[in-house]
Amino acid sequence: MEKPDWSFWQVILVIIAIIFAVLAIIFGYNHLLQTVSVPTSTEISIIYPLNSSQVYMQETITGTAKNIPEGDVIWIIVDPHNGKYYPQSDKVKIQSGEWSTPVGIGTKETVGNFDIIVVLADQKAQDEFNNYFETCYQTNSWAGMDKIPNSAKVYDKITVTRNSVETGPEIKIAYPLNSATVQMKETITGTAENIPDGQQLWIVIYPQDAYKYYLQNPVDFQSDGRWTLPVQFGEEQNVGTKFDLYAVLADNNAEKELNNYMTASENAKSYGGMRELPNGTTKITKLTVIRA
């Protein structure tokens, strides 16, 4: 009987070991790809207005956003080239990768070039913005910020021009005043000018602890622009709650959605609020009050 060729079997064993090692590496790599998320880059862009375009004092800025980190928030800042930066009071809300927000570009008397800057704010930057607005509300003075918060990252910037003092739509709330204390039921008053055809004025209330918009009926204004509307700030238990009060314009499509909501709520005898206002709704004026 011949002795077995052990060197041959040793080679076979080595080959088998190599095959298992390669399979283990391939399996482990595939598993790693499945379990470890690949970082994606954040993208934020302004769609409207276009760079170098002409604008009114009141405009609605629109844009797109992708891969926003959890906890970070988009803010819009207006730079009138006077050494100050003016963050806009509404944090930008994103719907299906798109966003829109009203901005004020200067005052009635200011013309010239303005930068519109979109930034992504982490919690530290959000605190700086919120502290700025708290001071503005307390002093009733909007002097601008000396600089953009260090931790706010700029993602897009355009330059626009106001060549005319024409303001576009202008809606003022005369009563109540900003930061005022209000009762549960109030009648608010104001004025409206330059409302475009096909746009309807609505008043909307936003309890800061509810995160929903509560419609308060469309507004009919007189020939001189004055208007009044009875509204309700929450329920009996909402003493001490802060409420944002918005005057908004709705185009024809948004008007249909708002009316459908009101009809459904009246039929159900329940007003649950809206998580978001429909597309075609533009916030023009905002103030904040506190329930007595």
CA–CA separation, 222 vs 25, rounded Å?
77
Is residue 54 located within the same domain as residue 147?
A: yes
Chain segment 109-139, per-residue pLDDT in tens: 888 999 999 999 999 999 999 999 989 888 8
Distance CA 59, CA 246 (A): 15
Residue 13 domain flag:
no
Instruction: Quote the pLDDT of residue 165.
Output: 65
Whole-number Å distance between alpha carbons of 19 and 25: 10
pLDDT interval class at 166 (50, 70, 90): low
Measured at the CA of 38, the angle between CA 32 and CA 44, to 5 degrees, comes to 170
Looking at the structure, do residues 239 and 276 belong to the same domain, yes or no?
yes
pLDDT digits (tens, 9 = 90+) for 197-249: 899 999 999 999 888 999 999 999 898 999 999 999 999 999 999 999 999 99
How many separate domains does the chain show?
A: 2
Name the domain boundary from 138, 162, 186.
162
- pLDDT above 80 (res 168): no
Residues 107 and 178 in one domain: no
Residue 133 lies in a domain: yes
Nearest-angstrom CA–CA distance, 84 and 195: 30
Q: What is the pLDDT of residue 24?
A: 60
Range of the domain at 119: 43-162
Q: Are residues 154 and 176 in the same domain?
A: no
- Whether the per-residue pLDDT at 251 is higher than 50: the answer is yes
pTM of the predicted model as reported, rounded to 2 decimal places: 0.58
Following DSSP, what letter does each residue of 150-171 receive, concatenated?
Answer: TTPEEEEEEEEEE-S---SSEE
Tell me what the pLDDT averaged over the chain comes to: 87
222 plus 282 within the same structural domain: yes
- Backbone torsions φ then ψ of 267, nearest 5 degrees: -65, -40
Nearest to 61 by CA among 76, 72, 73: 76
184 within 8 A of 230, measured Cβ to Cβ: no
Claim to verify: residue 110 and residue 180 sit in the same structural domain = no
- Check residue 33 and give its pLDDT: 46
Residues 75-92: pLDDT tens digits? 999 999 999 999 997 678
**Residue 259 domain-assigned (yes or no):** yes
**CATH number for the domain harbouring residue 246:** 2.60.40.10
Q: Assess if residue 76 is contained within a domain.
A: yes
Verify that 220 and 274 share a domain, yes or no.
yes
Of 117, 136, 162, which residue is a domain's last? 162
Residue 101, classed as helix, strand or coil, is strand
Task: Identify whether 236 is part of a domain.
Answer: yes
